[in-house]
Structure 1
Amino acid sequence: MPQKTIDFGKYGARGVKGSDAVARKLDELAGGITTPVTVKRGWTARLHYLTRTARSRQAAREAGLTVTDRTLTAWLQGRRSPSKANLARIDAAYRTVRRHNVARHLLRRLNRQGRGTRVEIHPLNQSQVPRPLQRVVEYRTLNVRRWDGIVAAWATGDRQGLEAAWDDTIVDLGSQWGQYEYVTNIGFAA
């Protein structure tokens, strides 16, 4: 795409990729267990979520939690605790399975039977950029009616796919869409 930013932050601008901000907001909307995985209550809650059915156990294995059933039982009964590496695997598997489980419901809420969802785009922070080099960017809103590609890429953890889907969406901002590749924040509710 011709308006891709090649050297973001060279003059002091601060922000995050718009697709990363969208992923962060979708994670927030997906909800889930808020207790940190490093606390016993956090990892046991995640393990209960990942092991309550045979289907969720299979999804956890596919997501990278490849310990034996005996080890899982020992963890759940409190006889043993997972190592730091296994805690990271538990958390990653939980996020992957949770995303997959809520994606369909979240997609339905965001699409709202074709009406879409209003998205607020807060521009990048240019307070550290010298005055002659600052761009004129402003707060924008956009009604996104097709969330299918965005939610599908988010649910599978496909960062490049999410970036491409988000770029295809912000093209609707008109000729200035490239100025919103990096943002301070993106907000929407479902």
Structure 2
Amino acid sequence: MPNDVAVMPISPEERFSRLDPSQDRTGGELLALEFDCWAEGTIPPFTTAIGMKVRLRYATWGACEFAWLKAAGLDVSSATVDGWKRGTRLPDSTELKKINDAFWLRRRADLAPVFKDWLCGRGRGRHIEIWPCEGRDLPMEEIWVQRRWRSIVDAWSENDLQRLEGVWRKMTRGLGVSADDYVHVYHVAFGAGLR
């Protein structure tokens, strides 16, 4: 479980609501978004009653009980948590945000080994497709990143955008004319194939 304070907002909802949609995002931000989309699946929004309950049950499931809630900065009694689960109590907006944060802290920690296994082991030949910023005279690129998946997933699971940006810069260093040509991009996607 991470002990350090996250260097970016924990939940993808908060992180990406802060970004200006009219601006292109950095490669690290788009890597985080791609993994967050995989991790989220079809879970209802946290602002709905069922979405809150799903996240609360997931964050408190098993032997860890309230450890993930505490990691997200929420220190409440078991009676309060039981009331939220039964629907006899409702969390306030601050508590709701922290429940969502606890869900994402645990979800990333739980999925990191799965993603690494899939991308590093059974996913041999996986690459990242990069769409450059619109209006720039740069081609779409594909980079093969088999040896970097572990560091990418670790940075994502620890919610460390600075580390993701560092990995991204190393991966894209040889693309384009200047080192900064692919720092900001329009879109990234993970593809499969043999090299």
TM-score (norm 1): 0.81
For residues 124-139 of structure 1, the aligned pairs below 5 Å read 124-126=133-135, 135-139=136-140
Q: Give, as a single letter, the amino acid of the residue that structure 1 aligns with 2:186.
A: T
The answer to whether the 8 A contact 1:63-1:97 is kept is no
Q: Give the equivalent residue in structure 1 for 2:98.
A: 89
How much does 1:113 deviate? Answer: 5.7
Q: Give the equivalent residue in structure 1 for 2:3.
A: none
Distance 2:64 2:41 in 1: 19
Give ranges in structure 1 of 5+ residues lacking alignment.
Answer: 1-12, 127-134
Structure exhibiting the larger radius of gyration computed from Cα positions: 1
The answer to whether the 8 A contact 1:35-1:42 is kept is yes
Asked whether 1:169 is paired with 2:178, we answer: no
The answer to whether the 8 A contact 1:120-1:186 is kept is yes
Shift of the 189–70 alpha-carbon distance from structure 1 to 2, 3 Å rule, reads: farther
Q: Give the equivalent residue in structure 1 for 2:182.
A: 180
The answer to whether the 8 A contact 1:33-1:42 is kept is no
Asked whether 1:104 is paired with 2:105, we answer: no
Matched residue SS, 1:188: strand
Asked whether 1:144 is paired with 2:166, we answer: no
The answer to whether the 8 A contact 1:30-1:106 is kept is no
Deviations 1:106-141 (A, max 9, x none): 011112368341111000122xxxxxxxx4211111
Asked whether 1:44 is paired with 2:46, we answer: no
Distance 1:103 1:147 in 2: 10
Shift of the 162–18 alpha-carbon distance from structure 1 to 2, 3 Å rule, reads: same
Percent identity between matched residues is 32
Give ranges in structure 2 of 5+ residues lacking alignment.
Answer: 1-21
Asked whether 1:123 is paired with 2:125, we answer: no
How much is the aligned-residue C-alpha RMSD, in angstroms? 2.1
Report the more deviating stretch, 141-150 or 166-175: 166-175
TM-score (norm 2): 0.79
Shift of the 142–177 alpha-carbon distance from structure 1 to 2, 3 Å rule, reads: farther
Q: Give, as a single letter, the amino acid of the residue that structure 2 aligns with 1:170.
A: T
Matched residue SS, 2:118: helix
Aligned residues: 170
Asked whether 1:63 is paired with 2:72, we answer: yes
